[in-house]
Structure formats: structure tokens, C-alpha cells
Chains A and B, each alone.
Chain A
Amino acid sequence: MIKLDGFSLNIVAMAAYLVLAPFVGGLLAGLDRKISARMQGRVGPPVLQPFYDVLKLLEKEKVTVNDAQGFYTACCLIFMIVTGCLFFVGVSLLLVIFTLTVASLFLVVAAFSSNSPYAQVGAERELLQMMAYEPMVLIAAIGLYMVSGNSFNVGDIMGHGRVGIIYLPGIFLGFLFILTIKLRKSPFDLSTSHHAHQELVKGLTTELSGGTLAMLEIAHWYENVMLLGFVFLFFANGTVLWAAIGVAVCVVAYFVEVFIDNVNARMKWQFALNSSWIVALTFGVANMLVVYIADISNWMGGGY
């Protein structure tokens, strides 16, 4: 990949994300369903099925329990798009994480606003999930900050000569772990799931229907592409070789998540919370310490 240091290049990256992310995200979702079906010995739906689903949802009658719900879901979609745009424009990773949290919170509010018991339990579980993955996301950002010459800027991290994965293998694994939560895959698809029949009807999305559900689906596509971008960040150092490796790893990571989804049953929220915090503490913090100590000794020995 070319070095993304020019302002115009950043704008191009952002525009590309804005236009292409829904298509890439939808295709990924389609491949996900196809691969899942093959893993289960089925033929599976066409790869374009997610697009058909969303277009169908837009054809349906608009039924909402209250007017606010549509608004909150729209906010979720908008903030998700903003998150991705900020990420691809290359601003601070912390800002990206905060807007991502805001987007998720709007979804929770949308679910709470319906007063439906299923949606409410789903929303509560979503909050627990956020508690579970948030520390690891922050640790990932801090790790990337440490190896990229003390900058949270996505542009700097991409352009910096050092490849994150070499210094941050533990944090990378930890991030993959919480990616399972973010992508709503088993064993952590507690709040809602793309698969039929869960104990909460559809959890978070129970009360969303038609166009509102379609908005949420599109928000997920944007989110997934952004998250894979985060994975890519561990490999980017401004050279074509590492960019290619990064894209390949993104694809493999997504495939692994689909595999994990298919071989696991849903766990209780306690397991999600405990395991992700333990992973964050062991893999994340230990890796951070190692980098920190190496940095100090390097600095004392003359630096880079």
C-alpha cells in the first residue's frame, strides 16, 4: 500500500470506505453464511443473500413500537459510519474507539426504548459484552501507540516503519478473542445472533423490523469492515508486502471467526466477561510490559 500521509489520500480512503464498505461487509456476511452452511454439510444461500435480505426488509411495512426507536437506530448507523470514516481518514485511534462505543450505546438505547422484556435483556447483555471487550480494545490501541513512536493517529501507525504484530503478538491474539464478541459469534453471541432461535427470541433486535432492522444490518457491515481495518493495523508499516500480508490475515481471521462460530455453543455472560478480562490481563498487559521494558532498554542503549 502507498504511504497514507497526504491529506487528499486520506480523503480518498475515507470516500472509498463510505462507498465500498457496505458492499464488502455484505459480501463478507454472504460468504460467512455460505461457509457456515458448507461446514454444516448444507448448500447454503447465495452469496448475495444478505443484500436480498436488506432490500426485502426495506420493502416491508413500517411497524415500530415507538417513533424514537427508528431515530436511535439511525443514530447507531450514522455513528458507525462516522467511526469508520474517522478510522480511514487516519485520526486518533482513541476517538475512533469512543465513537464506536457511542454507536453501540445507541443500539442499546433503541432496544431499551421498546420496553419489551426480550429486547431489554438483550440490551443488558449487550452492555455486559461492551464491558467485556472494551479493556482489550483500549489495550490494543495503547500497544499500537507504543510501537508507532508514541502516536495514536491511525495515519502514523500505518506509516511507521515498525510492524505491530512483531512487537504485539499477545495483544493481537487478545484482540482476535474479543473480535468474536464484536462480530456476534458463538460462544459470545449473547445479546443477539444472526442464527435463528435463541432463548431471547432475537434479543437486542427483537423489536426492530423492516427498515429499522435493515439500517442495523448495514451498520453491522460498516462495523465489520472497520474492525477488519483494525486487524490490518497490526500489519501495516507502509510497505506493499506487509499490506498484502495484512489483508491475507484479515481474511484468515474472518474465516477463523466463522469456524469458531460453528464449533461452539453459546456460553453464559459470566464466561464472556471473565474470559475476556483474563485474556486482556494476561495477553494484553503482559505484552504491553514486555514492549515497555524493551523500549526502555533500547532507549538506554541508543534507541532505534
Chain B
Amino acid sequence: MPYLAKSPWVIHYDGSSCNGCDIEVLACLTPMYDVERFGIINTGNPKHADVFLVTGSVNEQNISVIKQIYDQMPRPKVVVAVGICAISGGVFKECYNIMGGVDTVIPVDVYVPGCAARPEAIIDGVVKGLAALEEKRKRLPEEIAAEKAAEREEKAAGAEALAEAAKEQAGGADGPATEVGAAADEDAEGSEKASAEPDARIEPDEGAEAEGKGGQNG
């Protein structure tokens, strides 16, 4: 039985928002809107959360924070981008330190437009997110199984490589060993460059994006 939809716990993170959207998110908790009716709780803890509400755009300094919160949430999880800033950067888009919307860092499931997004729209966005959450829940066992299989393969491959390296070293000559070392160094440099590049954005599924936005507007 899917109980996930009956008790979605939310974590709210303020990127570089003007605080307008944050106040609207908090307004959802007030007696006026009372999201606890739907079992929604605002937890301050990513490890307890199912829904990640992000307000405001992503800047150079909070990329790692957003990624970390996202990674700490146990699956299944959905991300709801609240406000036009979180969708595309909004009025701050041209600022020198702004990366753009939340989807430049983590995959976003629901976009809630508005400046500021209205509490009704935010609640609606979370409820839309529940459908995505349910789908992800169904896929979760397969995902975990696939990951475990991949991990096992990697370990096996790693063990093989180690054994081979050991054999080569046992072979006596210094030549091949230094070569391996040099290659590893090169590799490390290469990957450093790749991660330092700021444009490591995860491209969102364009169709889904359009659909999400359209759904909210309509």
C-alpha cells in the first residue's frame, strides 16, 4: 500500500531567494492553509524528508549545499522548485554569481511558478509531486537491485585489476609500474578539470519541464 502520499515530509531550503517565496512556504504551515491536514510536516532534517522544496536560485556558493541536502534524503524523493527564481533564476538571472534554476544542480520534478508563488500553488505543487513520488517508489526496488549489481561488478573488476597489477609488479621490471603511476596522475588531473568546470549541469527532461510548467499555469 502506498503510504508515501499520505505523509510527505518536507524540507525547505532557501537558495538565494528574496525571502518572498520562503514566507509563502511558511504561510502554508499557518492555520490559514494548514498543510498538516494532508500529513505534510516541515522537518528540518533531510534524512526524514520526502519532498525537497527549494526557493530562490542557485548561486556559486550553495551548489554544494543543495547537492548535499539532496544526497542525504533517502529515496524515493522529489524536488519542487518554488518561485520563478528557483525555476530559471528569475530577476537575478543576470547576476554574476547566479547559476540559474535549481535544475542546474539537481533534477527537479515539479516547477511552481509565481513571484512569489502563492501558498495554494505551493500546496498544489507538493500534491503534484506526490504522483512523481509514487512512481519513484515503485521503481525503487529495481533501482536498488541494479545499483547493488553494479557495485558488485565494480568490486570484482577492481579486484581483477589489483591482481593484474600485483602480477605485473611481481614481474620485476620497474618500467610498467611507473607508467601506471603516470597514467593515474594524468587521470586525476583530467577529472579535476572536469569537476571544476562550472557548467556541470544536469539537463532536465525538456518535455517534463514544459509539461510541469504548463500544468501549473493551466
Q: A45: which B residues are within 8 A, CB to CB?
A: 36-39
CA distance A208 to B47 in the complex (A): 7
8 Å CB contacts to B: which residues of A130-161?
A: none
CA distance A52 to B39 in the complex (A): 8
Stretch of A1-9, A171-179, A199-207, A276-284 lying at the B interface: A199-207
Closest to B72 in A: A63
Stretch of A54-62, A181-189, A224-232, A256-264 lying at the B interface: A54-62
CA distance A271 to B76 in the complex (A): 41
A contact face: mostly helix, strand, loop, or mixed: loop
Closest to A60 in B: B74
Q: A49-B39, A63-B47, A208-B47 are in contact. Are A37 and B3 (CB under 8 A)?
A: no
Closest to B47 in A: A209
- CB of A194 to closest CB in B, whole Å: 9
CA distance A60 to B38 in the complex (A): 19
CA distance A195 to B48 in the complex (A): 13
Q: A46: which B residues are within 8 A, CB to CB?
A: 39
Closest to A200 in B: B44
Closest to B29 in A: A196
**B45 contacts the other chain (CB 8 A):** yes
**A302 contacts the other chain (CB 8 A):** no
Q: A43: which B residues are within 8 A, CB to CB?
A: 34, 37
- A56 engages B43 (CB within 8 Å): no
Q: A49: which B residues are within 8 A, CB to CB?
A: 6-7, 39
Q: A59-B4, A61-B140, A202-B43 are in contact. Are A44 and B74 (CB under 8 A)?
A: no
- A60 engages B76 (CB within 8 Å): yes
- A209 engages B3 (CB within 8 Å): no
Q: A42-B34, A210-B74 are in contact. Are A53 and B7 (CB under 8 A)?
A: yes
8 Å CB contacts to A: which residues of B1-36?
A: 1-4, 6-7, 31, 34, 36
Closest to B38 in A: A45
- A207 engages B47 (CB within 8 Å): yes
Q: B36: which A residues are within 8 A, CB to CB?
A: 33, 37, 42, 44-45
**A274 contacts the other chain (CB 8 A):** no
* Per-residue interface assignment for chain A, residues 98 to 130, with 1 indicating a CB less than 8 Å from any chain B CB and 0 otherwise: 000000000000000000000000000000000
Q: A56-B3, A210-B74 are in contact. Are A41 and B31 (CB under 8 A)?
A: yes
**A198 contacts the other chain (CB 8 A):** yes
**A297 contacts the other chain (CB 8 A):** no
CA distance A232 to B123 in the complex (A): 43
8 Å CB contacts to A: which residues of B28-80?
A: 31, 34, 36-39, 41-45, 47-48, 50, 74-76
Q: A53-B39, A61-B76, A213-B48 are in contact. Are A37 and B34 (CB under 8 A)?
A: yes
- A59 engages B31 (CB within 8 Å): no
- B39 engages A196 (CB within 8 Å): no
**A275 contacts the other chain (CB 8 A):** no
- B44 engages A56 (CB within 8 Å): no
- A196 engages B3 (CB within 8 Å): no
**A298 contacts the other chain (CB 8 A):** no
- CB of B70 to closest CB in A, whole Å: 13
**B137 contacts the other chain (CB 8 A):** yes
Among all A-B residue pairs, the 4 with the closest Cβ atoms: A55-B3, A209-B47, A52-B6, A56-B3
User: What are 26 sample pairs from A and B whose C-beta atoms fall under 8 A apart?
Assistant: A33-B36, A37-B34, A42-B34, A43-B37, A44-B37, A45-B38, A52-B6, A52-B7, A53-B7, A53-B39, A56-B4, A60-B50, A60-B76, A61-B75, A61-B140, A62-B74, A196-B42, A196-B44, A197-B44, A198-B44, A201-B44, A202-B44, A202-B48, A206-B47, A209-B47, A209-B48
**Interface residues in chain A, defined as those with a beta carbon under 8 Å from any beta carbon in chain B:** 33, 37, 40-46, 49, 52-53, 55-56, 59-63, 196-198, 201-202, 205-210, 213
- Given A45-B39, A196-B43, 9 more A-B residue pairs with CB atoms under 8 Å apart are A40-B31, A56-B3, A56-B7, A59-B4, A60-B75, A63-B47, A196-B41, A197-B42, A206-B47
